[in-house]
Structure 1
Amino acid sequence: MEWDTRSSEGKISKLKDAAGKDMPEHNWVWSPQGVVNMHYPERWGYLQFSRQVNTVFRLPYAELQKRYLWLVYYRQKQYREKFGRYATTLAELKITSQVTLENQVNQLQLEATPRQFTATITAPNTPAIRLNDEGLLTYTKP
């Protein structure tokens, strides 16, 4: 939002156009998020610092896994909006239970009741990652 701090009363207020209507927001971030909402950390960009020239960024494996958990999360939210409850199977969300990432098979699991859910992704020799209906991510040791 654009704010004007020049009011004579010392109040902070939103800038207005010539007609007295609020000016539109100018949202900008250094990485596109796909939504106008900074409260989506799963859509934030990544920044890598390196002292080496031509360093290639490689997304951590766990971040690749989390993309599938967020897919379950968003589909669950849509499903609940439509049916008034969470889906109890991945099939209801049209998501397969096996996902291959970097030539490694990952297993997706869903535990759900009408009012809450937890999605888990596991792969050999990596921590299991869980995401619940509140967007809380947790890790467990392999």
Structure 2
Amino acid sequence: MTIDGHASEVSWDKAEWTNLFIDIEGDKKPKYDTKVKMLWDDEYYYILAKMEEPHVWGDLKQRDTIIFYNNDFEVFIDPDSDTYNYYELEINALNTVWDLFLTKPYRDNPAVLNDWTLTGLKSAVSVDGTLNNPNDTDKGWMLEIAIPFAAYKTSYFHKNVPVDTFWRVNFSRVNWQHDLVNGKYKRKKDSKGDFLPEYNWVWSPIGVINMHEPEKWGYVYFSSKAIGETDSFEIPKDEKIKWALFSLYRAQRAYKNEHKVWASNFNDLNNSEIVIDGETLKPSLENHSTGYNISIKSPFSGKTIIITEDGTLKMKP
């Protein structure tokens, strides 16, 4: 694969587009279309993003600056689906990169490693129109990315190439309203001089304006079948148990914000049983000196799945 932003390979022709992105908060239709294709081989996870945009612009050129202050495309990856130790990649129309590693979501006070580098990353941009030229109307821009599996040795200690398995992934497109200042594109401000809020368009909706809820990201399945061949993937039932545990985790956080202590029973959380694919599951709640454990014994795998007060997920035989 030649990473040049044009995606002229036959492999890309055979790959299917995702559905069009939607607003991060739900089903609102974005002003401009965004869609993605994905491929993989023994070395790389390939992503092709196509973005409709009548004014392609960017002015951030320094690596690891805050790229979402420009219109950008973002990739979020959690290889082992535990919401901890995940990766974020942001790229603008100038192909300026911000890559970072987060030990956990911002809600749980993570270490954010801005100096982490996605070694071996390849990316390229092509513009259907002109870049930074306000005198015409563009059609959009396309971003081609190759992410090396070897880069995930930082936190992903299993087999690095995921074959017939899934990663938790999400894609986000940040889009700003703009003004022209001395003939140059700038983010638009309101009458008080504050920047207008950005639009956030995503592949897998979060429900709130916060990409850092990894439990709500999508599932990317790395099929061993050839491009164009049909394959099937069903989200594992234990993943659905994790969803339920995170719902209880959020309820606990809301309870503590109001009452200054953790709830000690499920009645306080208005949730004492969970139904998954027809199976009724009863979680257990154990409070301790620094927080709590909520656990569910999976009837599907036999494992006990536990979530703690800081969002840590544990799996026990």
**TM-score category, normalised to shorter length:** 0.7 to 0.9
- Is 1:68 matched with 2:218? no
Deviation sequence 1:102-141 (CA, Å, 0-9, x none): 2434330111247511110113342111111101001001
The one-letter amino acid paired with 2:293 is T
- Is 1:26 matched with 2:202? no
Aligned equivalent of 2:161: none
The one-letter amino acid paired with 1:37 is N
Identical pairs, percent: 30
Aligned residues: 134
Give the superposed CA RMSD. Answer: 2.8
The one-letter amino acid paired with 2:252 is Q
Q: Structure 1: which 5+ runs fail to align?
A: none
Larger RCO, structure (CA 8 Å, separation 6 or more): 2
The structure whose residues are more often strand, as a share, is 2
The one-letter amino acid paired with 1:26 is Y
TM-score of the superposition, structure 1-length normalised?
0.77
Aligned equivalent of 1:5: 60
Mapped partners of 1:66, 1:31: distance in 2: 17
Q: 1:131 aligns with which of 276, 287, 307?
A: 307
CA drift at 1:63: 0.8
Deviation sequence 1:36-62 (CA, Å, 0-9, x none): 112110111112244342x44311111
The one-letter amino acid paired with 1:45 is G
The one-letter amino acid paired with 1:83 is H
Aligned equivalent of 2:188: 17
Q: Confirm or deny: 8 A CA contact 1:73 1:135 kept in the other structure.
A: yes
The structure whose residues are more often helix, as a share, is 1
Q: Confirm or deny: 8 A CA contact 1:104 1:123 kept in the other structure.
A: no
Mapped partners of 2:302, 2:240: distance in 1: 12
Paired residue secondary structure (2:296): strand
- Is 1:92 matched with 2:265? no
